[in-house]
Amino acid sequence: MPAKKIGLDNAKKEKLFYFVANVVVYREADGRCLILQRSEREKVHPGKYAVPGGKLEWKDLDLNNPTRINGEVLDYENAVEELLKREVFEETGLEIESGLHYLNSVAFVRPDEIPVILVKFAAKYKQGEVKLEEGSFTHHAWVNEEEVKKYPLIKGIDEEVKNVIEIFRKG
């Protein structure tokens, strides 16, 4: 029988993580990527430049609207793609193209002891003007692989920007 609710009662506590996805947004017109400065009030990497992204939430798994029922399993296809489209729009006001390019992943433990699985992607900018989410970000910049080094970054962002530019320049 398919699930009737989402809960943690039957979960193995040692198996639980936040699931987070980030995306490096590439603007083809000038070969630059978007970076965002995190608010000083953020728990993780306050004041550092990062890229858009966010956590998969319980509401993303609407039990009444799976994309398909696979036996007794409720499937939610394109959950990461939809998460990133939503987060990019909420955080920046921009739209991204549908195709994602996988970059890498990292598992880490936040200062508040919450374990996280972070999966990183690249996507092309589609349209829109940057309008930062109030209270979450303070500044933004469109940068190339040299310019990105001038900003206080979360470790690895400069390499990801460089890799994304290479991926999209090669076509």
Q: Which pLDDT value is given to residue 33?
A: 98
In the chain, DSSP finds a helix count (H) and a strand count (E) of 2, 10
| Complete domains list, the chain, with CATH | 17-170 (3.90.79.10)
Going from the C-alpha of 18 to that of each of 5, 143, 156, the distances in angstroms are: 19, 29, 20
Measured from the Cβ of residue 152, the count of other Cβ atoms closer than 10 Å reads: 11
Q: Which pLDDT value is given to residue 152?
A: 98
Query: Distance (Å, rounded) from C-alpha 95 to C-alpha 19?
Result: 22
Query: Distance (Å, rounded) from C-alpha 119 to C-alpha 160?
Result: 12
Q: Which pLDDT value is given to residue 11?
A: 73
Residue pair 38/137 in contact (Cβ under 8 Å)? The answer is yes
What tens-digit pLDDT sequence spans the chain (171 residues)? Answer: 788 887 778 778 776 789 999 999 999 999 999 999 999 999 889 999 999 999 999 899 999 999 999 999 999 999 999 999 999 999 999 999 999 999 999 999 988 888 999 999 999 999 999 999 999 999 999 999 999 999 999 999 999 999 999 999 987
Torsion, Cα of 90, 94, 97, 103 (10° steps): -70
Residue 131: closest CA among 88, 69, 168 = 88
Q: Which pLDDT value is given to residue 14?
A: 76
Query: φ, ψ for residue 62 (rounded to 5)?
Result: -70, 110
Residue 60 token pair: 């993303």
Query: Distance (Å, rounded) from C-alpha 170 to C-alpha 120?
Result: 19
Q: Which pLDDT value is given to residue 171?
A: 74
Query: Distance (Å, rounded) from C-alpha 136 to C-alpha 130?
Result: 14
Nearby residues of 106 by Cβ (< 8 Å), 6 or more positions away: 118, 120, 156
pTM above 0.85, yes or no: yes
Of the chain, the end-to-end C-alpha distance in Å amounts to 45
